[in-house]
Structure formats: C-alpha cells, structure tokens
Amino acid sequence: ATPTSIMVGTGRAAQLGILFRQGEALQTLMDVRVVAVDKTGTLTRGYPELADLTVAKGFDRDQVLALVAAAESRSEHPIARAIVAAAEKQKLPIASVQNFESLTGLGLRAQVDARQILVGSDRLMMQHKLDPAVFSTIASKLADEGKTPLYVAIDDKLAAVITVADSIRETTPEAIAALHEQGLKVVMVSGDNQRTAQAIARQLNIDEVVAEVMPDAKADTVRRLQQTYGPVAFVGDGINDAPALAVADVGIAIGSGTDIAMESADVVLMSGDLTHVSQAIAMSRATMRNIR
C-alpha cells in the first residue's frame, strides 16, 4: 500500500469516528477472519441493573441488600454500581466496610457490621465449599433470559442469589449482521456465566461463545482463535481486555472504555457503535483493492 492511500483511508475513517492509531491496521484488517467481541460494555451497554434478589430461608431481603451494597460500594465493577444503586433507591443504610478484598473475575469479600460477606459467581461459592445448587432453578431461569446470577454468602452461609441485567446496545444486532455479510465469524468472549453468555449470544446470532473466561485468559482465547481460524480482530472496552487487544492482529477499543484498553488498541471507535467495526473492515478492503 502506498503511504498516500493509507493516509486517505485513515482520514476518511476518522471522519466517521474510527481512529486508526496504527496506519498498518488498515492493511491488516482486510485479512481478518474472526471478530472476537467482549460482552459486557461492548455488545451490551455496561450499565447493569438489579433484576431480582431471592433470599434463602431465615434471611431478610432488605438486610441482605444493605450488607451486599455496603461491600459493593468499595468495588469498581459495573455489577457493584447496579447493586449500590438499588440499595440507594430503597434508601437502605450503607454500613462501613472492613477488610475489603476484590477477587478479580470472581467477586469480592468484605466485612460489614462484623459479618463476613462473600459476593460473586457460582465458581467463587464452590471455591468456598458452598453449594449454589439450592438456587439453581431460579438462577438458571434468569440466566437463560440473559441475566447474570451472583451469589451471596453471609458468615459462610449461602444467603441469596442476585441477578443483574445489562441491556444490549441498540446497534449491536445490525453490527453482527453486517459482519456476517462480510463473511466473518463472530465470537463472544466473556467472563460472565456460561448460561447468561449463551442466552445473549442466541439473541444476537453469535457463532461461538467462550464464557467464564478469567480476566488474564482472554488473550489465550484470542491465540487459540488465531490458530484455528486465522487473523483475529478483538473488540473490547475494559481493563481486562487490554492483553487480548494487544495479542489480536487488530485490537479495536471502544472510546468510552478504559484508558488502558485504548492504549493497547490499534483502532479506537469514538462511539460505542459496533457497526463501525464492519465499516472499518469495508474501508480496509476498499483501500487495499485500489492499491493492488
């Protein structure tokens, strides 16, 4: 490719809000076979809301919500914001927190009002020898609707299941349809629950799902996709996405995401509109066609 045609191509893309941090990415994009996409904050808005809270026998709903919200008030995870907002809406008192510990990709642990609070995935509960199966009917039903189940243990007793729901971005369905029209495979990569991820993938017609991926394993998933299918573009927004963005043949970050995601990316989308991914690919193909 000539430097001039690349400059023209990246200039046009910039007018649409597609920023090529690397001119070379415009050349690499045309070879991409797979678009791997983070779920939370990329396919979805990233602003979950509390959908349901079911307590075990002997526990009070408002009391559980108040304790969990206190613990979550120290977390920066989008799930934490949803729980704190729900407690604030009900004007529940938020107690002070001791010994807060964030368990990346799993949940958190903290002490609230002299009680030991553990909140997070079923995997986290099992690690603490707590069996989430008592909530399996409600948890599976809500997960099949695309909601994320979280479990709460208070003083080593399973106390509640909470589900949070994050809505799909308006432009996501057409973005996936456009990628399919371009002959690309679309793969979801998520730290979320397997059932929840599958439900969202079904709604969006996504080809393959890799779920319950621990934060540092997203890059390994990209490597495996590269070996199986060829060049991969990864689209993500979060801190956890930075290694995958770096490993991908083309890393595409959402401009409203974290700084570290943007620094690791080759391309930054100024809006959260995923249709810009297929537009960028179309521009890459057009630019390279004019040159060859």
CA 76 – CA 73 distance, rounded (Å): 8
Q: Residue 92 carries which DSSP code?
A: -
- Contact pattern from residue 203 through residue 242 relative to Mg ion, giving x for each residue in contact according to CB under 5 A and a dash for the rest: ----------------------------------xx----
Please enumerate in sequence order all residues whose Cβ is within 8 A of that of 176, keeping only pairs 6 or more positions apart, or say none.
186, 204, 205, 206, 274
In the 3-class helix/strand/coil scheme, how is 46-75 assigned residue by residue?
A: CCCEEEEEEECCCCCHHHHHHHHHHHHCCC
CA 291 – CA 124 distance, rounded (Å): 53
| Burial class (CB within 10 angstroms; exposed 0-12, middle 13-18, buried 19+) of 194 | middle
- Which residues belong to the active site? 38
**Residue with CB nearest Mg ion?**
41
Q: Is 119 in the site for ligand ADP (CB under 6 A)?
A: yes
Q: Which of 108/250 has CB closer to ligand ADP?
A: 108
Binding part of the chain for ligand ADP, among 3-11, 101-109, 224-232, 279-287 by CB under 6 A, reads: 101-109
Q: Is 192 in the site for Mg ion (CB under 5 A)?
A: no
Binding part of the chain for ligand ADP, among 90-98, 106-114, 170-178, 255-263 by CB under 6 A, reads: 106-114
Q: State the minimum distance, in angstroms, from the CB of residue 218 to ligand ADP.
A: 8
Q: Which of 148/278 has CB closer to ligand ADP?
A: 148
Q: Is 42 in the site for ligand ADP (CB under 6 A)?
A: no
Q: Residue 42 carries which DSSP code?
A: I
